């Protein structure tokens, strides 16, 4: 045992001496050689001794030549080996690092010797391995580069990955940036998919550090060039100048044309001499066309363009042969309440007033006769080439129904018409298209008291009529409806004549008397004094009694009766005499005759005059 210890001591001494000699000389050798020959294992076990100066020199050597893995800065490493799963990276540290090949999927051509940016992810994993991250290093570097590009205005390249709501997603240095649709180009973009999978130049316009958002613009790069072009174009603008442009946008009110950095508007009314409903009937997007400058404001920011002005006005090419009285054919292009505009040639229109659409005197909306798009025949009524106006008529192509009106509708003839309209004083009845007549309210019924025609009939009803008057010059017909029937008052005159008596029931009490209804046509009025009964009391509503007619006026449909004369002989005699005298007369009974007798009767009843002598009564 002692011998074994002795041998170990000897070996140790030999080894110490063997290493001491080169250590002593290491101070004069290259530091790299020192590191290559130094026995780290013996040093760590305490066998190898290093003096203080050597230790300081060693520490300086490590500091100068090895990477401190505690630092979070991005560093550059060299790929020294690639396995199936990892890449071995030398970062000049105490040991090599490992990075998963998944982090290099964007670079399938990675090979040994390539330099890559890395960041220490794990200083020592469970196996003692240094783990690096290329993705994190690339992200940090990317943000540095993006921030620098934003600050300096540097132009960067980006890869358009896909579409998103309102724009595109662009890969810039490995960061997903947002490209708004309005920042893709100076003109509106209609096909976003055309930009996907393309590499383009961009300018970083906005960074939100809190949410890690980056906004880029391609439009900003070309706006500067366009601004120069715009200034040059604006400086050369003149009214009447013809320029070539591209249709940039189409709206319901006009077309925006790109003149090479400057936009102008062609209003819908300046697109075509013909009427159009929408500009897309004339032009389409991206179409190249020539336009003329009509006007612009002082700073030339608003430019008014024209397209139709490049062609002569259609009125100038209108044939001189067209004159009033000629028949023409055209298409209805616009309808208004007062008429319809008809295009007889491209850009040449005429107005058919609603009054010229039909011989009917009842004016209606033009839409009742024609619709937009209809092809109609018409006659030229007036033409003004200087003011470019033309009036047309449709009814002139048909005979005027009033031409032979006296033959078709002579006075006294009977017909059937349709109620077309009401007024307060009567009803307008159409006998045929263009022939109307008026029935006055008094000619509607023999018996009914009508306050308004709507109480008697409705629009659209058919009525039998008799032509009462005909005014050919004034194109007026006076009609009657009640004349188609016998006047029931002719019959009532005999049945309810003066002196006739009737058993009735008082229907209603009214001001100054009572009313008795004989039937739906005829009623009688009983003055208050004539309601007196034999006992001095007066008749009341619902009470039955016998009455005698003391007045009958067929013209005014007035019947007056009395109960009092039934039981007062003198008054009754006067009524009988009035009735007899009325029957003996060959002339029509007059109001004066009846009124004088009635007035005498009333005066006597009221005691104003004395009763006549017997001889007078007999007479």
CATH fold label, 314-397: OB fold (Dihydrolipoamide Acetyltransferase, E2P) (2.40.50)
pLDDT of res. 251: 92
**pLDDT at residue 434 greater than cutoff 70:** yes
| Residues with Cβ within 8 Å of residue 90, at least 6 apart in sequence | 77, 78, 80, 96, 97
| Residues with Cβ within 8 Å of residue 275, at least 6 apart in sequence | 333, 334, 341, 343, 349
pLDDT digits (tens, 9 = 90+) for 209-265: 888 889 998 888 877 677 777 777 777 788 888 889 999 899 999 999 988 778 889
Nearest-angstrom CA–CA distance, 102 and 83: 12
Strand positions, DSSP E, 441-475: 462-471
On whether the CB atoms of residues 430 and 420 are closer than 8 A, the answer is yes
**Across 130-134, 162-166, 393-397, 566-570, least confident range:** 566-570
Is the alpha carbon torsion for 251, 255, 261, 262 positive or negative?
negative
pLDDT digits (tens, 9 = 90+) for 183-206: 888 777 778 888 888 888 888 888
Cross-strand partners of 476: 471
Residue-wise burial string across 40-57, b where 16 or more C-beta atoms lie within 10 A, e elsewhere: eeeeeeeebeeeeebeeb
Nearest-angstrom CA–CA distance, 578 and 180: 108
Nearest-angstrom CA–CA distance, 75 and 467: 115
Alpha-helix runs per DSSP H in 405-522: 405-408, 488-495
Rg, the chain, Cα only: 59
Alpha-helix runs per DSSP H in 134-218: 134-152
- Does domain 153-222 sit in CATH 2.40.50.140? yes
Residue 3 is encoded by which pair of tokens?
A: 């011998």
Provide the residue ranges of all domains of the chain, joining segments of one domain with +. Answer: 2-63, 75-138, 153-222, 236-310, 314-397, 405-484, 488-618
pLDDT of res. 618: 33
| Residues with Cβ within 8 Å of residue 487, at least 6 apart in sequence | 446
Sheet with 523-527: strands ordered across: 501-505, 544-553, 558-562, 523-527, 513-517, 508-510
CATH superfamily of 75-138: Nucleic acid-binding proteins (2.40.50.140)
Cross-strand partners of 86: 100
- Does domain 405-484 sit in CATH 3.90.850.10? no
**pLDDT at residue 175 greater than cutoff 70:** yes
Same fold, 153-222 and 488-618: yes
CB neighbour class for 130 (10 Å; exposed up to 12, middle 13-18, buried from 19): buried
Cβ neighbour number for residue 492 with a 10 Å cutoff: 20
Half-sphere exposure for 58 (CA within 13 Å, toward CB):
16
**Three-state DSSP state, 167:** strand
Question: Can you count the helices (H) and strands (E) in the chain?
Answer: 11, 31
Taking Cα atoms as reference points, which of 405, 460, 475 lies closest to residue 427? 460
pLDDT of res. 258: 86
pLDDT of res. 4: 43
Cross-strand partners of 265: 256, 304
Taking Cα atoms as reference points, which of 250, 370, 355, 230 lies closest to residue 301? 230
On whether the CB atoms of residues 383 and 324 are closer than 8 A, the answer is yes
**pLDDT at residue 591 greater than cutoff 70:** no
**pLDDT at residue 521 greater than cutoff 70:** yes
**pLDDT at residue 613 greater than cutoff 60:** no
Taking Cα atoms as reference points, which of 498, 515, 495, 492 lies closest to residue 572? 498
- The verdict on pTM exceeding 0.75 is no
CATH node for 488-618: 2.40.50.140
Residue 34 is encoded by which pair of tokens?
A: 């020192």
Residue 388 is encoded by which pair of tokens?
A: 């470019």
Nearest-angstrom CA–CA distance, 288 and 257: 9
Is the alpha carbon torsion for 75, 78, 83, 84 positive or negative?
positive
- Give the chain's mean pLDDT: 78
Considering the domain delimited by 236-310, tell me its CATH architecture.
Beta Barrel (2.40)
On whether the CB atoms of residues 29 and 57 are closer than 8 A, the answer is no
Calculate what percentage of the chain has a pLDDT beyond 90: 11
* DSSP assignment of 320-348: TT--TT-EEEEEEEEEETTEEEEEEETTE
């Amino acid at each position: 045992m002692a011998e074994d210890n002795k041998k170990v001591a000897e070996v140790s001494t030999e080894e110490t001496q063997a290493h001491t000699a080169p250590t002593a000389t290491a101070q004069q050798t290259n530091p790299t050689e020192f590191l290559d020959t130094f026995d780290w294992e013996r040093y760590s076990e305490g066998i190898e001794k290093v003096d203080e100066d050597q230790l300081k020199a060693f520490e300086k050597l490590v500091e100068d030549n090895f990477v401190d893995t505690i630092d979070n800065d991005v560093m550059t490493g060299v790929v020294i080996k690639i396995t199936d799963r990892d890449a071995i990276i030398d970062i000049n540290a105490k040991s090599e690092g490992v990075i998963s090949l998944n982090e290099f999927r964007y670079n399938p051509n990675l090979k040994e010797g390539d330099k890559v940016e890395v960041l220490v992810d794990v200083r020592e994993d469970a196996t003692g391995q240094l783990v690096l991250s290329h993705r994190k290093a690339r992200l940090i570097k990317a943000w540095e580069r993006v921030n620098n590009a934003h600050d300096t205005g540097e132009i960067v390249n980006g890869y358009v990955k896909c579409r998103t709501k309102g724009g595109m997603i662009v890969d810039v240095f490995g960061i997903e940036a947002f490209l708004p649709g309005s920042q893709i180009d100076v003109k509106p973009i209609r096909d976003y998919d055309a930009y996907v999978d393309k590499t383009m130049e961009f300018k970083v316009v906005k960074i939100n550090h809190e949410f890690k958002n980056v906004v880029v613009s391609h439009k900003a790069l070309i706006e500067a060039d366009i601004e120069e072009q715009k200034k040059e174009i604006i400086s050369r603008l003149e009214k009447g100048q013809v320029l070539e442009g591209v249709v940039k946008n189409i709206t319901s009110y006009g077309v925006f044309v790109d003149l090479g950095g400057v936009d102008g508007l062609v209003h819908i009314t300046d697109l075509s001499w013909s009427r159009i409903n929408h500009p897309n009937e004339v032009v389409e997007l991206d179409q190249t066309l020539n336009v003329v400058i009509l006007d612009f404001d002082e700073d030339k920011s608003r430019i008014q363009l024209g397209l139709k002005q490049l062609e002569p006005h259609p009125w100038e090419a209108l044939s001189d042969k067209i004159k009033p009285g000629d028949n023409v054919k055209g298409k209805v292009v616009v309808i208004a309440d007062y008429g319809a505009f008809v295009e007889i040639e491209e850009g040449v229109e005429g107005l058919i007033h609603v009054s010229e659409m039909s011989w009917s005197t009842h004016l209606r909306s033009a839409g009742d006769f024609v619709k937009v798009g209809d092809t109609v025949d018409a006659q030229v009524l007036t033409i003004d080439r200087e003011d470019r106006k033309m009036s047309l008529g449709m009814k002139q192509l048909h005979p005027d129904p009033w031409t032979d009106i006296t033959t078709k509708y002579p006075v006294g003839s009977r017909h059937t018409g349709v109620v077309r309209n009401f007024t307060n004083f009567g009803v307008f009845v159409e006998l045929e298209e263009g022939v109307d007549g008026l029935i006055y309210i008094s000619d509607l019924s023999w018996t009914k008291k009508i306050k308004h025609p709507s109480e008697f009939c409705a629009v659209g009803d058919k009525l039998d009529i008799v032509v009462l008057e005909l005014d050919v010059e004034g194109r007026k017909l006076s009609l009657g409806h009640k004349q188609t029937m016998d006047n029931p008052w002719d019959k009532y005159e005999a049945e309810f004549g003066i002196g006739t008596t009737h058993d009735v029931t008082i229907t209603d009490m009214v001001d100054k008397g009572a009313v008795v209804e004989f039937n739906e046509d005829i009623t009688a009025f009983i003055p208050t004094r004539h309601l007196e009964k034999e006992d001095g009391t007066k008749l009341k509503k619902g009470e039955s009694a016998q009455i005698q007619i003391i007045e009958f006026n067929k013209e005014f449909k007035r019947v007056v009766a009395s109960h009092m004369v039934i039981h007062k002989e003198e008054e009754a005699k006067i009524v009988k005499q009035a009735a007899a005298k009325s029957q003996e007369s060959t002339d029509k009974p007059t109001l004066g005759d009846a009124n004088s007798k009635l007035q005498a009767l009333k005066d006597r009843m009221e005691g104003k005059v004395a009763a006549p002598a017997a001889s007078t009564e007999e007479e």
